Structure 1
Amino acid sequence: MRSKPRAFLIPAIALSLSVAACQSPNTTPTSSPAAGTTGSATPAAAGGGGGSNVSLTGAGASFPAPLYQRWFSEYNKQNPNVQVSYQSVGSGAGVEQFTQGTVNFGASDTGMKPEEITKVAKGAVLLPMTAGSIVLGYNLPDVKGLKLPRAVYTDIFLGKIKNWNDPRIAQANPGLTLPDRPITVIHRSDGSGTTSVFTQHLSAISPAWKSGPGAGKTVNWPVGVGAKGNEGVTAQLLQSDGAIGYVEYGYAKQQNIPTAALENKSGKFIEPSGETAANALAAVTLPADLQAYIADPEGENSYPIVTYTWIMAYKTYEDPQKAQALKNVLKWSLTEGQKYSEELGYVPLPQPVVTKVQAAVDSIKP
């Protein structure tokens, strides 16, 4: 494998974010909600020096980490009194730390299973905060506009298609000159919600995958090189000629990594975008527990691999200041914070979803 070093700008593995969020519960909101939002008021900026300092810690999914970083940074400009530290450690570790009570909130691309929730002593509130696409990024400098049929990208990750000029790839791309080069598969090495979503999709479209590696935060990959976090997979893609790997769309977008158009359930080749991801989200209605999954969405213009991603908060907090600070951050993120989603490659939540999630935030008690 040849190496092509390129600048890697996304924060690697851990994000340490100094963020402010605290207000007294009696603070009167002064900032305006984002356009089109309703429901609970957006928390006001706390101003410069009033109030006690509060520390919040969180850990979990790397999928939404760039957006969380932006949210917390922007919120910090208005609210300097609470420090929020978020560690991008993967969904599996995020669920574990949240369950053990070593953080104030967790983050997961797959939410939590009922048996996991029962282990949380203080109870759990699952809050979908944003959504995004999982894309297949590739490193072929002279190839643009690659199309991958469902059976083809599944067989690449099964190790059955080993070379870029394989006849099945060539058949789907008659206008492209594909190199005679081995395919290097890049996959996650850690417990990952992104892996869970990707492998659920592969299981939904391929009996061979379902009966083989199957779905989960970790699987036994038939082929490939492992990397930690969306950050690590992105770095490997940048450095490895002939590589293909799955990452959250925002990581590929920020690093200008080409992404394949994937065949969806309707047989159309769809590029990842905010619009095609939103089309996929429209195919599902959030249930009462706010956990919904879309393994293979309907719709001619739906991108085929899309997921919500959740923040996990406790139902009760011993410290009322921490509880109120976290609620303020969450409500700001659901309203004003949504305007940063598209530029970073995420999908702003539809207003009916925002309203449901705000009501869940209100249920958090000190």
Structure 2
Amino acid sequence: MKLNRRAIFGGITAGTLAFGLAACGGGDDSDTGADGDMVSGEINGSGASFPDAYYAAAIEAYAEVNPDLIVTYNAVGSGTGKSEFGEGLNDFAGTDSLVGDDDGVEAGSFQYIPTVAAPITVSYNLPGVEGLQLDQDTLANIFQGAITTWNDPAIAATNEGVTLPDTAITIAHRSDGSGTTANFTKFLDEATDVWTLGSGDEVTWPEGSIGGEKNTGVAQVITQTEGAIGYVDLADATETGLMTASIENAEGAFIQPTLEATTAALDGAEVNEDLSYNPLNAAGAETYPIVAPTYILLHTEYEDETVAAGVKEFVNYLITDGQDIATDNYFAPLPDSLREQAVTALNDTIA
């Protein structure tokens, strides 16, 4: 199932879903009610806009299974989602970046549950120029303002035979705290020696750049601005019809942001004990180098047992049956080994 989330949900992804763990081989009757029925009630999440297409589709799909548990997900960005999680304003948070000391997690301990992954595209608006290729150092220098026109020799060097205009480059970036920003800048920081702006949910971009709220906002800036370049999730780039550059990977190959190239990056990623992992600039000739994981943050303790049961069932659906709809919505499902670890961590976190 593929969902046009903008037409249905706009800024807030809302739907109804519930999940009987017994139906998917996990849990027991105590997880779903005294009689084994699916949980009813309401749970709410907020956070990353990067996985919004997948979460929206999953919520809609599960509504057909059980309408008795209402789930809302507000795609406000990873930074806000983590802060709201720490303040106890949501039941779960979506994030593409890891929790830092300043993310406000005073509400207690938490568990990462990986859900899906996707490439961060480098999208651009340059009429007449297709098949753009950018090496890693050139990409870094574009986004930190050291390269300011499209016919710069550094860009021309990897685009032989392409007529590049002298159009000024406009950088499009996230204006809100964003895991997409964190992963994109982390890639530039780790993969190159020239990047100087650091990494994180927010960085100080060069003067004259334009910020957009959420991935949809960045896509809109690029669409409306000739000469613009920005970083956008694959779902928004595809739905908006943006051109995407091929980016040099660790092996020196220029790779388009496809799900196949994303899966190749996931296969080589090392998973940490807390289930976080880093697929950026992964080895392999076929890997796309800017691949972002996304996670659900769970509390390790919930005051309301019904909320806990609802969160457990919803997240279990995302990492089991819900994986089947990931690719239709421009996301790569988890490798089997990581999915199994995620299910185990979920059951250990919410008994």
- Per the normalisation by structure 2, the TM-score is 0.90
Q: Look up the equivalent residue of 1:108 and give its one-letter code.
A: T
Indicate whether 1:64 and 2:51 are aligned: yes
1:187-266 matches, cutoff 5 A: 187-209=173-195, 212-223=196-207, 224-266=209-251
Tell me which residue corresponds to 2:16: 19
Partner SS, residue 246 of structure 1: strand
Partner SS, residue 245 of structure 1: strand
- Tell me the distance in 2 between the aligned counterparts of 1:246 and 1:267: 20
Tell me which residue corresponds to 1:85: 72
Shift of 1:66: 1.0
Partner SS, residue 201 of structure 1: helix
Indicate whether 1:340 and 2:337 are aligned: no
Check conservation: 2:265, 2:280, Cα contact below 8 A: no
Tell me which residue corresponds to 1:95: 82
Check conservation: 1:22, 1:81, Cα contact below 8 A: no
Which of 279, 290, 305 aligns to 1:294? It is 279
Partner SS, residue 84 of structure 1: strand
Check conservation: 2:83, 2:103, Cα contact below 8 A: no
Partner SS, residue 197 of structure 1: helix
Shift of 1:298: 1.4
Q: Look up the equivalent residue of 1:197 and give its one-letter code.
A: N
Partner SS, residue 208 of structure 1: coil
Shift of 1:208: 3.0
Shift of 1:122: 4.0
Which of 147, 150, 164 aligns to 1:178? It is 164
Q: Look up the equivalent residue of 1:98 and give its one-letter code.
A: F
Partner SS, residue 156 of structure 2: helix
Tell me which residue corresponds to 2:311: 326
- Tell me the distance in 2 between the aligned counterparts of 1:327 and 1:312: 11
- Tell me the distance in 2 between the aligned counterparts of 1:199 and 1:9: 27
Deviations 1:298-333 (A, max 9, x none): 111111111211100111212222111211111111
Tell me which residue corresponds to 1:5: none
Shift of 1:42: 11
Which of 43, 62, 74 aligns to 1:75? It is 62
Q: Runs of 5+ in structure 2 lacking a partner?
A: none
Tell me which residue corresponds to 1:142: 128
Indicate whether 1:163 and 2:149 are aligned: yes
Tell me which residue corresponds to 1:284: 269
- Tell me the distance in 1 between the aligned counterparts of 2:347 and 2:103: 19
Shift of 1:190: 1.0
RMSD: 2.6
- Tell me the distance in 2 between the aligned counterparts of 1:11 and 1:184: 31
Q: Look up the equivalent residue of 2:301 and give its one-letter code.
A: T
Alpha carbons of 1:175 and 1:343: their partners in 2 closer, same or farther (altered >3 Å)? farther
Alpha carbons of 1:145 and 1:10: their partners in 2 closer, same or farther (altered >3 Å)? farther
- Tell me the distance in 1 between the aligned counterparts of 2:125 and 2:28: 42
- Tell me the distance in 1 between the aligned counterparts of 2:96 and 2:219: 18
- Tell me the distance in 1 between the aligned counterparts of 2:278 and 2:66: 34
- Tell me the distance in 2 between the aligned counterparts of 1:170 and 1:192: 31
Shift of 1:22: 5.8
Shift of 1:21: 1.2
- Tell me the distance in 1 between the aligned counterparts of 2:126 and 2:109: 47
Check conservation: 1:158, 1:222, Cα contact below 8 A: yes
- Tell me the distance in 1 between the aligned counterparts of 2:211 and 2:105: 30
- Tell me the distance in 2 between the aligned counterparts of 1:97 and 1:9: 23
- Tell me the distance in 2 between the aligned counterparts of 1:101 and 1:126: 16
Q: Percent identity?
A: 34
- Tell me the distance in 1 between the aligned counterparts of 2:118 and 2:39: 36
